[in-house]
Structure 1
Amino acid sequence: MEKEVKTTCPYCGVGCGVIATVDDNGAVAVRGDADHPANFGRLCSKGSALAETLDLDGRLLHPEIDGCQAGWDEALDLVAARFAETIAEHGPDSVAFYVSGQLLTEDYYVANKLMKGFVGSANIDTNSRLCMSSSVAGHRRAFGSDTVPGTYEDLELADLVVLTGSNLAWCHPVLYQRLAAAKAKRPGLKIVLIDPRRTMTADIADLHLAIRPDADVALFVGLFSHLVSSNAVDQNYVAAHTAGFGDTLLAAGGVSFDDVLERTGLPAMQLREFYRLFSTTEKVVTCYSQGVNQSSSGTDKVNAILNCHLATGRIGRPGMGPFSLTGQPNAMGGREVGGLANMLAAHMAIEDAGDRDRVQRFWRSPKIAEKPGLKAVDLFRAVADGRVKALWIMATNPVVSMPDADAVEAAIRACPFVVVSDILKETDTARHAHVLLPSLGWGEKSGTVTNSERRISRQRAFLAAPGEARADWWQLAEVGRRLGHTDAFAYEAPAAIFREHAALSAFENAGSRDFDIGAYADLALEDYDGLTPFQWPQRQGQKRAESRFFAAGNFYHADGRGRFVAVRPAETDRTNADYPFTLNTGRIRDQWHTMTRTGKSARLSAHIAEPFAELHPRDAMEIGVGNADLIEIESPEGKAFVRALITERQARGSIFAPMHWNDQFAAKARIDVLVPPITDRLSGQPASKNIAVAARKFKATHYAFAVSLAKPVDPDAAYWALAKAAGGWRLELAFAEPVDDWAGWCRRVLAIPQGVEPLGYADAQTGDIRLAFFDGPQLLAAFFLAREPVAVARNWAIAQLGADHANLRKRFALVAGRPGADKPDPGATVCSCFGVGVNQIVAAVRGGCHSVEAVGVALNAGTNCGSCRAEIRGIIDGCLAAAAE
């Protein structure tokens, strides 16, 4: 009998509701939950493909000590003993936890309680430091608390939505869909996109401001001055509910309109239009994400934005307010429990003696951390220099995602004792663990997460725990018990942890703190199991309700007033003669973080299958790089090799590269190797959007493309990029020198059985080599080699893995790399949801489909998650423009 379970997506901070269906054979299907108020049934490409990522391939199923299988008692005894010994000899600050927004709130809570309340150190930080800690710091400066004032509904109620540092179409696709639908219904809704790159989000923007990197402070300081000079300031709100307006105005007076033009690089007409739109529109929402936060001036950027909303009183009312969009599914939940090194649980402040006393009394803990701990970058510096001697990493992969990633890897490798809790056995970080602990994954674990609009939702288990995998909270609680704190960590289920978390939020609160879910402090187990999504705060004795903050003031500073923060533009150009380009790192549509989950899906790898860098055509020409060439990107910290993607979407002098690829999927493409450990002085958030780099063509003697039924093993090539494909694997390659025996290379790397001889040819003049290996009618592998990037129809070649090749003519066609007339090449994948390629869309346009909707009717492309609609529209426009010439 089929089982349906309502749960929550484990990807971005939108927090979409998902319904997972498990049939009698154990097969899982997913669809959007139409009742969930975050997505109303919509899912993006990643959410739609969740069922494709649930296999046990590569899973860590048993505890390991030094690479050997161990029992849980042995492993946990060792963890507790080594941490206890280290603390006894070197003090509590000699140990640290590095945790993750992939954890559930219950996991996060126990980790924070153990470290801050019982070890007595605040050396617990999270990978959320890398994505939204500047927003936290900005909120606390302005509001006196880490409060997101508004709701997703505000995007649909606004008359102007400003998207700054946010590629909403690719990074928060369901919110993009909601916004696009609102604009289609109400065309008067204006959208301004502020981004150095013309991203796919620009498709729905009325105005795109291609700002210079890190010029946001200047832009919004200039806007603040314009609001004052155009009489758009809400004098009553400012007088009644804020402080610091005069000092902020004085600081803004030092930045003229011409200064803003020079710093931002924007045309005067565009800048005036943006300022006019903002000053004359009552209902304004400003959404900001990594492009704002991931900066050495990220906190000042946030406050420059908040200043403009405070000045106009456009906050906390329907369709108005600043909106921080978090990157991870539970970054907000981590903030609620004090997951950051400079916070305490329940939004209390570690620097406040009263808060420390309150939390210690509630926990009945023997000690409490008395000062902020080490933030992520400083934490790994402390690992490197020996101050931190025992490290526990949970649900994250810092060897790929941290700045100066090679130095981070070296620090972890040299650390005397490293514990890693993860679901996969082989990650770039797990390979350095002394103890590996198998955790539960999505679909197996149970708890809560909080999305960007303060909405708490349940993640529920619908799959049995594989092997000996256990919940992260259980692992932490077991170590807490072994450290002698049995009563404090006597949890039997996540519901008990959630009740304690809720009780602490209400403890001695009485409205003095924003985060309060005391209504759930006595939640029965069956009510926890059936918990439906709700927004905080939900105070004890109050009816469940949606909420916004600060429309009538009531900020969380001692005087109840919000704070204007005087900020000044910083120098933004870090380039020099040796490193003349500015690198901007980020995410792409169909991959997530370091690909440990999305890399399992062939569908999600079909759109973009290898690491790449976008650069402007003139920049490419000047460094001698052509389309599909490989480029080497270098910074003082390291080097990476990626494919060149030449596009006018990119500004001159700038390069964009995604951060997802790791050593399991590519040879040398960990892009955070290039990122220097420069951080915001207040938030500690790394500056991942403004990196000075050099770029040059990667010189290869040969390029190759291969498809294989078996997973390729250890490709010994200067460049390689591996991706899951329908029915097998695909592999891109480049060689710095020729191989003596290409067929032998294929046998070894592509796992060709002994006795299988290749069908193929070699062209001595061009240097082309084509090899195909068959087992009866089944294609085992095909290998295409050339002296230039290989011109083979990739999707067609992949499809041959599942084709019948009993016909000899079809085998020769494969070796030639030419699709037959009966099997046309679909082209590069545009729509991942339905596997629709660019050639199919072009054919539909030529057949009369001249709108995105018409292409959707003909091919289904763009009709599910909608993330590809901008790309489809670009193809249509290109075809129609070419036809008109």
Structure 2
Amino acid sequence: MTLTRTTCPYCGVGCGVLAAADGTIKGDPAHPANLGRLCSKGAALGDTLDLEGRLLAPRVDGKPADWDTAINRVADAFRAAIRDHGPDSVALYVSGQSLTEDYYVANKLMKGFIGAANIDTNSRLCMASSVAGHKRAFGTDTVPGTYEDLEEADLIVLVGSNLAWCHPVLYQRIVAAKQARPEMRVVNIDPRRTATSDLADLHLGVAPDGDVALFNGLLAHLAATDAIDLGFVQDHVNGCLDAVTEARRTDLSVTGLDTQQLEEFYSLWAGTEKVVTVYSQGVNQSSIGTDKVNAILNCHLATGRIGKPGMGPFSVTGQPNAMGGREVGGLANMLANHLDIENEDHRAAVQAFWQSPTICTRPGLKAVDLFDACADGRIKALWVISTNPAVSMPNADHVARAIENVPFVAVSDIMAGTDTGDLADVMLPATGWGEKDGTVTNSERRISRQRAFLPAPGQARPDWRIICDVASAMGWGEAFNYADPSEIFAEYVALSKAAKGFGKDLDLSAWAAIDYATMAPRQWPQDDTRFFGDGAFFHPDGRARMIATPAATAAVPTGLMLNNGRNRDQWHTMTRTGKSARLSAHLAEPYLEINPADAEACGLRPADLARVRGASGGDAILRVWISATAPKGAPFAPMHWTGQLTSAGRVNVATRADVDPVSGQPSFKHAPVRVERYDAAWYGFLASAEPLTPQTGYAAIAKTPTGWQAELAGETAPDDWEAMIRQLTGIADGEVASMHDPRRHLTRVAIRREGRLVALLFAGPEPVALSRRHAVSQIGTEAEVLLALSGRAGQSQPDPGAIVCACHDVGVNTLRSAIASGATTVAALGEQTCAGTNCGSCRSELAGLIAAAQMKVAAE
């Protein structure tokens, strides 16, 4: 078995992975980002390498085609749109999951050869407010922090970041640091109590979008207590007086916190020199996201707590290569190497380096504006690469209709069926993780290699190759004549050298002599470099800028405001993680986490289905999860489910496209919604050996070890249950056995084929109670039909219950049994069951099970 050193394709932590063609996955102990650790998603990468559902050949107008036909169709459509309507009539929408080399050639094609800047990326949905905030404060998009800072800090402040679920390996580094130095303090600022809150010494349940007021209050406190570093500010910072003046005007009631909480936080921050403020999507995904970022940066600049070990602001990215995309100009408002579109000298330098016939002269359309331009007819040709905007964009139904309105749409993807791909005129099969080569940059500016350890399946090609093929067909073959990604990377490094004279931060000169094939992970400009510790910034005068950030005035909340985010074990639109049965076993359907008071007001009970209707008219149907950790007035729903896996659970149809006026990043955390009970006439659970299609009023599909499962519901009960099960499963043959209880309106149906169970359906007028894991385990076996239809495991088949620890496949019943036998600490549970001993993301749930068991004993 040959293990290949590569990098995980999920979040921006950028973990090193040792991978083999047989699906073996291990953490790379030599990689500085993770030192051998992997989260549940990374550990399950081997489950996602199959070719089921893959796009293996080009498709033109829904029919198989050869590559020449597909490439020429794309090139012809783009040429015609440019000829008839100008370069601004075409657009590319790319992805933070693209490799840097893919990003580079896409940016070069669009900005230097087509001559417009209409190339944006789903990183606009992720980190654009950080980019804008960094540029306002520092003069360039520089992330000064390193992961080692998390271990050296005396205080870590987590803002809008459920690190335990979204960046679990970083979370574990902090856990280990706190165990080694118990005096370290952690503050968690989040409207929700999350798994991350368990680590915190102080949880501040800030009101949605109350972050500007919170950090303005901190800045005012720093000024009032003489905690501002006047020497640093006088020598290196502009705008401090204006920022402090604005901060003093802030109404702190906007934070939703009481005076004691504010005083405790402010005193802790002011009195601790080594402070790292880690922030993520709760800050960025807001209509005031850039001001949130600058309010945080202001506090670090005012105190000089930046660019030194154990201190500084730290933006952690959501996607594996959001940073790499920013570096090569993948956003519509920047050029490669952190140069500025608005700067004539920068444009001239890039054009001269590329020897391109033109160069864009102004920023292009940012994501929300880009799809609005698709809707109103300004975009005539659109190419979507490695992303799924019909699901991931806010007001997703509008985006889908906008894509449908574009005369020509191309989609490059690894999957044959996606919500966006289903709208395309041309589908281009791309290689996926494990099949392609290139580089990615993680949240601490560390460039790592992704390496292929699998052959390209079918006719799939890497994205960089597809882009270069289209560029060649458009007449620019010489400029895009690369033999492999190493040549693209070398050109990117050379452009960095050409851009160095402009005094920007991005310097890759050390990479010029590096062997691409054996490249080890390293930070730019070089390992152990710290920006800003010497007080040198990248504005023309060399000084930083503190930005006056007006906070919202206090307002009485009205109605429910939906918060949107991620699950522990899923990634974006589940193109990859949805293939893993163990990742799907934890939370297998879209849900609404809602406070008990809100649930009562909406007439919701546990396990009900809720209709969530957004202000734009779109609505989703979600399973109700009543939780006291959900803040009143702010229910939460994950964004992962697509039209391929659910009939009605696409939650972004209910979010609206309010954007930050500076960054163009939309708000996903504060969408007004109405919530009501979905009055289903019937509920069902279906287990199948064959793939399922979501065709009922409510359907949520998930992979299982034996095939697939679906939670079902509908407003009208089927007249023929057998016909329905055959329609959903596609199983046309086999023997049918059924049980009906007319009095209780219960129905159970089984299909056997060649002596083996291939489908089981359980349905009734209420949410179905049965051992789902046991029912799933019967698929593919010769189990006796009546026993299978009972929905319960026999005494000889202990039921481990719903999965809690996805890394080690440990169920809730197994854990409860261990607790009953004396495992009354999280560590003891880990020793007995292995739960919580890998990524640790389930440790808060383990603690909750222990607490519940102890409360039950005390009550007895």
Corresponding position of 1:549: 531
2:117 to 119, 122, 134: 122
How many residues are matched?
A: 858
- The residue identity in structure 1 corresponding to 2:850 is I
Corresponding position of 2:786: 812
Corresponding position of 1:368: 359
Corresponding position of 1:657: 637
Corresponding position of 2:152: 157
1:84 to 79, 89, 99: 79
Shift of 1:389: 0.5
Corresponding position of 1:288: 279
Please give the secondary structure, in 2, of the residue aligned with 1:509.
helix
- The residue identity in structure 2 corresponding to 1:551 is G
Distance 1:572 1:343 in 2: 36
2:746 to 751, 765, 768: 768
> 1:780 aligned to 2:762?
no
Q: Structure 1 stretch 791-800 or stretch 431-440: which is displaced more?
A: 791-800
Shift of 1:773: 2.4
Q: Structure 1 stretch 263-272 or stretch 608-617: which is displaced more?
A: 263-272
Corresponding position of 1:534: 522
Q: Structure 1 stretch 138-147 or stretch 85-94: which is displaced more?
A: 85-94
- The change in CA–CA distance for 1:300 and 1:602 in structure 2 (over 3 A counts) is same
User: Given that residues 343 and 372 in structure 1 are in contact (C-alpha distance below 8 angstroms), is that contact kept between their aligned partners in structure 2?
Assistant: yes
Distance 1:274 1:212 in 2: 15
Corresponding position of 2:472: 481
Within a 5 Å distance, the mapping from 1:710-749 to structure 2 comes to: 710-712=690-692, 714-749=693-728
Corresponding position of 1:14: 13
Please give the secondary structure, in 2, of the residue aligned with 1:820.
coil
Within a 5 Å distance, the mapping from 1:285-364 to structure 2 comes to: 285-364=276-355
Corresponding position of 1:168: 163
User: Given that residues 574 and 690 in structure 1 are in contact (C-alpha distance below 8 angstroms), is that contact kept between their aligned partners in structure 2?
Assistant: no
Distance 1:144 1:746 in 2: 60
1:707 to 675, 687, 709: 687
1:696 to 672, 676, 682: 676
Distance 2:730 2:329 in 1: 49
User: Given that residues 500 and 521 in structure 1 are in contact (C-alpha distance below 8 angstroms), is that contact kept between their aligned partners in structure 2?
Assistant: no
> 1:563 aligned to 2:558?
no
Shift of 1:520: 2.0
Q: Deviations over 1:584-640 (max 9, x none)?
A: 000011110101111111011000100001001111112111110000000122100
> 1:685 aligned to 2:665?
yes
- The residue identity in structure 2 corresponding to 1:529 is A
User: Given that residues 360 and 368 in structure 1 are in contact (C-alpha distance below 8 angstroms), is that contact kept between their aligned partners in structure 2?
Assistant: yes
Distance 1:176 1:746 in 2: 43
- The change in CA–CA distance for 1:773 and 1:74 in structure 2 (over 3 A counts) is closer
Shift of 1:833: 1.3
Corresponding position of 1:541: none
User: Given that residues 419 and 435 in structure 1 are in contact (C-alpha distance below 8 angstroms), is that contact kept between their aligned partners in structure 2?
Assistant: yes
Distance 2:19 2:399 in 1: 37
Corresponding position of 1:72: 67
Corresponding position of 1:832: 806
Corresponding position of 1:517: 508
Q: Structure 1 stretch 761-770 or stretch 397-406: which is displaced more?
A: 761-770
Shift of 1:37: 0.2
Q: Structure 1 stretch 505-514 or stretch 604-613: which is displaced more?
A: 505-514
> 1:669 aligned to 2:667?
no
User: Given that residues 734 and 751 in structure 2 are in contact (C-alpha distance below 8 angstroms), is that contact kept between their aligned partners in structure 1?
Assistant: no
2:191 to 196, 200, 204: 196
Distance 1:383 1:66 in 2: 20
**TM-score, normalising length from structure 1?**
0.96
> 1:857 aligned to 2:852?
no
Please give the secondary structure, in 1, of the residue aligned with 2:370.
helix
5+ residue gaps in structure 1? Answer: 539-544
Distance 2:538 2:386 in 1: 33
User: Given that residues 439 and 470 in structure 1 are in contact (C-alpha distance below 8 angstroms), is that contact kept between their aligned partners in structure 2?
Assistant: yes
Shift of 1:504: 0.7
User: Given that residues 23 and 45 in structure 2 are in contact (C-alpha distance below 8 angstroms), is that contact kept between their aligned partners in structure 1?
Assistant: no
Q: Structure 1 stretch 512-521 or stretch 110-119: which is displaced more?
A: 512-521
Shift of 1:826: 1.7
Q: Deviations over 1:419-453 (max 9, x none)?
A: 11111111000011111111110000100000000
Shift of 1:781: 1.4
Q: CA RMSD in A?
A: 1.3
1:796 to 760, 767, 774: 774
Distance 2:668 2:499 in 1: 40
- The change in CA–CA distance for 1:155 and 1:70 in structure 2 (over 3 A counts) is same
Please give the secondary structure, in 2, of the residue aligned with 1:757.
strand
Within a 5 Å distance, the mapping from 1:409-420 to structure 2 comes to: 409-420=400-411
Distance 1:831 1:108 in 2: 36
User: Given that residues 646 and 701 in structure 2 are in contact (C-alpha distance below 8 angstroms), is that contact kept between their aligned partners in structure 1?
Assistant: yes
Within a 5 Å distance, the mapping from 1:33-182 to structure 2 comes to: 33-182=28-177
Corresponding position of 2:219: 224
Distance 2:459 2:528 in 1: 40
User: Given that residues 241 and 562 in structure 1 are in contact (C-alpha distance below 8 angstroms), is that contact kept between their aligned partners in structure 2?
Assistant: yes
Distance 2:858 2:711 in 1: 37
Question: Identity rate of aligned residues, in percent?
Answer: 55
Distance 1:123 1:828 in 2: 46
- The residue identity in structure 2 corresponding to 1:246 is L
Please give the secondary structure, in 2, of the residue aligned with 1:546.
coil
Corresponding position of 2:395: 404
Shift of 1:574: 9.5
Corresponding position of 1:542: none
Q: Structure 1 stretch 73-82 or stretch 657-666: which is displaced more?
A: 73-82
Please give the secondary structure, in 2, of the residue aligned with 1:815.
helix
User: Given that residues 574 and 691 in structure 1 are in contact (C-alpha distance below 8 angstroms), is that contact kept between their aligned partners in structure 2?
Assistant: no
Distance 2:404 2:346 in 1: 37
Please give the secondary structure, in 2, of the residue aligned with 1:477.
helix
Distance 1:519 1:74 in 2: 42
Corresponding position of 1:455: 446
Distance 1:123 1:149 in 2: 29
Please give the secondary structure, in 2, of the residue aligned with 1:734.
strand
User: Given that residues 149 and 321 in structure 1 are in contact (C-alpha distance below 8 angstroms), is that contact kept between their aligned partners in structure 2?
Assistant: yes
User: Given that residues 499 and 522 in structure 1 are in contact (C-alpha distance below 8 angstroms), is that contact kept between their aligned partners in structure 2?
Assistant: no
- The residue identity in structure 1 corresponding to 2:612 is I
1:32 to 27, 31, 41: 27
User: Given that residues 583 and 693 in structure 1 are in contact (C-alpha distance below 8 angstroms), is that contact kept between their aligned partners in structure 2?
Assistant: yes
Q: Deviations over 1:85-107 (max 9, x none)?
A: 11111111010100000100000
Q: Deviations over 1:381-422 (max 9, x none)?
A: 111111110011000000000111111101111110111111
Distance 2:754 2:828 in 1: 43
User: Given that residues 13 and 443 in structure 2 are in contact (C-alpha distance below 8 angstroms), is that contact kept between their aligned partners in structure 1?
Assistant: yes
5+ residue gaps in structure 2? Answer: none
**TM-score, normalising length from structure 2?**
0.98
